[in-house]
Amino acid sequence: MVANNKTMKAWRINSFGIDHLTLEDVPVPSPAGDEILIKVNAVSLNFRDFAIVQGFYLPDLMPKDLIPVSDTSGTVVQLGSSSSKFREGDQVIVHPFLAVNPDGSFDHMSAYGGPINGGLAEYMVVKEYALIKAPANLSGQEASTLPIAALTAWFSLTNKMKLKAGDHILFKGTGGVSLFGIQFAKALGAHPIVITSSDEKGEKTKEIGADEFINYKEHENWEAKVKALTGGKGVDHVLEVVGGKSFNRSLDAIRERGNIIVVGFLEDQYSELDLMKLLSSRVNITAVSSIGNWDSWAAMLKAIEDYNIKPIVDSIYNFSDAKDAFKQLNKGVFGKIIIKISG
């Protein structure tokens, strides 16, 4: 139970901008019906959280006094009247989205952390069906890193690419999705190749499973290097997170009838495709705008336990230093940023 607490500490957005985040005393929410109250162990940050706080992401649809941050882990402390799936004391992770669109993708307007109150607070009320038990091999802080980045990577590799042992897969950069993807690909018996901006980052990717890395600042024609590393054939799959002019280079790096899964556009949301390259290579291009379905959620967590996969953590901040955590995210990181609250 909540031990007679009537108020809690929560960070809220009173106006946009990191410096306007305010730590306030607010009422502890009460779970009703199929809801569950969790004591938040930790949250981890994604660019989506930064964009919401800064006012870049659908600002007109974000409520005043929103509690931000989607990725949350916690401990069950109180059940709603019709909740029966969990028990008090269970360690759980929050799935960020509550509703599914007709095409099977998640409705981004049903998301915790915006427009629904998120996890940057001591307690959080969550729909029972949006919770799943945390992997036994992870701490509460580690578990908070999984929902968006890890599930996007897992869904892309297993559901969209149908990645199998022996496949070569190219990861572009060392963001959260790519780092989880490298670990998952290695666990599944594939051969990850990474392009990155420095040898230091590249060596770190080899420590977590990359077979090879290419420093694109030293190898301007990195796509040719990718081809060379695969015996002139090209990789079987590309996890595309860059977009822009880099997209055509992915077409040069991939084999005929390979798969490019598009999950982001760090360079530019617009790409001028060389259609001759596309037609001659007959590459399959699939966009993943959702983090993954419920079946993928459960399968990923089982794989994390079975292969003892540990999230890569850049830094951990205290709850009182949440603003500094957001500022660090904007500077660039290698791994996830965690804000510990009670775990």
Of 24, 108, 69, residue with least CA distance to 326: 69
Residue 300 CA: distances (Å) to CA of 126, 141, 266, 286? 21, 18, 25, 20
143 vs 43: CA distance, rounded Å: 9
Q: Are residues 68 and 156 in the same domain?
A: no
Provide the pLDDT for residue 61: 87
CATH number at residue 222: 3.40.50.720
155 vs 106: CA distance, rounded Å: 13
Q: What is the mean pLDDT of each run of 10 residues along the chain (343 residues)?
A: 77 93 96 96 94 88 93 97 94 86 64 94 96 95 95 93 96 93 98 95 96 93 94 94 80 92 70 77 80 82 96 97 94 93 82
Provide the pLDDT for residue 267: 56
Cis peptide, bond prior to residue 115, ω within 30 of zero: yes
Model pLDDT for residues 226-268, shown as the tens digit of each residue: 999 999 999 999 998 877 678 888 999 999 999 998 887 655 5
Determine, yes or no, domain membership for 276.
yes
Q: Are residues 200 and 235 in the same domain?
A: yes
Determine, yes or no, domain membership for 303.
no
Domain that holds residue 320: 7-145+311-340
Provide the pLDDT for residue 270: 67
Q: Are residues 183 and 283 in the same domain?
A: yes
pTM: 0.91
Specify the number of domains making up the chain: 2
Determine, yes or no, domain membership for 162.
yes
For 11-35, b where at least 16 C-beta lie within 10 A, e where not — what string?
Answer: bbbeeeebeebeeeebebbebeebb
Determine, yes or no, domain membership for 292.
no
Of 47, 66, 69, 43, residue with least CA distance to 56: 47
Q: Are residues 211 and 281 in the same domain?
A: yes
In terms of C-beta distances under 8 Å and separation of at least 24 residues, what long-range contacts does 287-291 make, across chains too? 287/261, 287/262, 287/263, 288/152, 288/155, 288/156, 288/160, 288/261, 288/262, 288/263, 289/105, 290/97, 290/104, 290/105, 290/106, 290/155, 291/96, 291/97, 291/106, 291/147, 291/148, 291/151, 291/152, 291/155
